[in-house]
Amino acid sequence: MLKVNHLSLTFPGEREGLRAVEDLTFELREQEFVCVLGPSGSGKSTLVRVLAGLLRPTSGSVHFAPLRGEGRPPRVGVVFQQANLMPWRTVVENITLPLELQGVPLEAARQQAAEMVELIGLQGFEDTWPRDLSGGMAQRVALARALVQDPDLLLLDEPFGALDALTRERMGGELLRLWQARQKTVLMVTHSISEALLLSDRVLVLTARPGRLALDLTVNLPRPRDEEMRYTAPFGELARRLRAAIV
């Protein structure tokens, strides 16, 4: 679905500028769930922004292949670290916004938004203003706003960073369900090794700045996975390899 080839990005600045990511080469296959781990400042958010088309690489390339069987390029949905909701729109109006921009009639848009509200578990908060939401709730609205456009590739930048541990597990489970049921491809930045191992098919580890690919690890744990798996030997072994690669 996606080929990233020798991707580098340097932010302009004094002297030679700030090298954020350097020489990244990897592929995403359709319906893969890939997590990205790396220390703070290793260029994870920069990578997400490049893949979302919001930043232009300094060198190298990002190539989207047409979808199998459909022939059209994949639709890409993004959830950033900050929810960035429109403060003058309610929860449901924030979720319908991308549909309205596409010209979907309001009634149909509200119907789809209602399904998303249920998915993210915010029933009863449809008419709430963003300022009255907790950080975690706002983040879930941002996820719903991305999902309502039915993206083929979902880019998630630490989407559960502001959530408490239990909500985080629940959202991870919801995301897995969605990924399986709707056949999405997911690239998700996280700082949690166990979250990466419970969710993904592969984990990419970036080095400290500039972000280079330190490890591309296949997670061959059987599915469905549950929290109990954390205590098994294969899980521990993979966790050890990830921890050793994050420097």
Interface with ligand ADP by CB under 6 A: which residues? 11, 18, 20, 38, 40-46, 209
Residue 57 binds which entry of Mg ion, ligand ADP, none, CB below 5-8 Å type-dependent: none
Question: Smallest distance, Å, CB 93 to ligand ADP?
Answer: 29
Nearest CB to Mg ion, comparing residues 38 and 151: 38
Q: Please answer whether residues 138 and 129 qualify as being in contact, where contact means their C-beta atoms are separated by less than 8 angstroms.
A: no
Residue 18 binds which entry of ligand ADP, Mg ion, none, CB below 5-8 Å type-dependent: ligand ADP
Q: Please answer whether residues 219 and 225 qualify as being in contact, where contact means their C-beta atoms are separated by less than 8 angstroms.
A: no
Question: Smallest distance, Å, CB 124 to ligand ADP?
Answer: 33
Pinpoint the alpha helices (H) of the chain. Answer: 44-51, 91-101, 106-119, 135-147, 165-182, 193-199, 233-245
Q: Please answer whether residues 131 and 87 qualify as being in contact, where contact means their C-beta atoms are separated by less than 8 angstroms.
A: yes
- Regarding beta strands 213-218 and 59-64, do their DSSP bridges make them parallel or antiparallel, or are they unpaired? unpaired
Residue 46 binds which entry of ligand ADP, Mg ion, none, CB below 5-8 Å type-dependent: ligand ADP
Residue 209 binds which entry of ligand ADP, Mg ion, none, CB below 5-8 Å type-dependent: ligand ADP
Cα atoms found within 13 Å of the Cα of residue 77, Cβ hemisphere only: 21
Nearest CB to Mg ion, comparing residues 44 and 168: 44
Residue 178 binds which entry of Mg ion, ligand ADP, none, CB below 5-8 Å type-dependent: none
Question: Smallest distance, Å, CB 237 to ligand ADP?
Answer: 26
Q: Please answer whether residues 113 and 96 qualify as being in contact, where contact means their C-beta atoms are separated by less than 8 angstroms.
A: yes
Nearest CB to ligand ADP, comparing residues 40 and 123: 40
DSSP string, 194-209: HHHHHH-SEEEEEPSS
Nearest CB to ligand ADP, comparing residues 76 and 109: 76
List residues binding Mg ion (CB under 5 A). 44-45
Lookup: tokens for 2: 């996606």
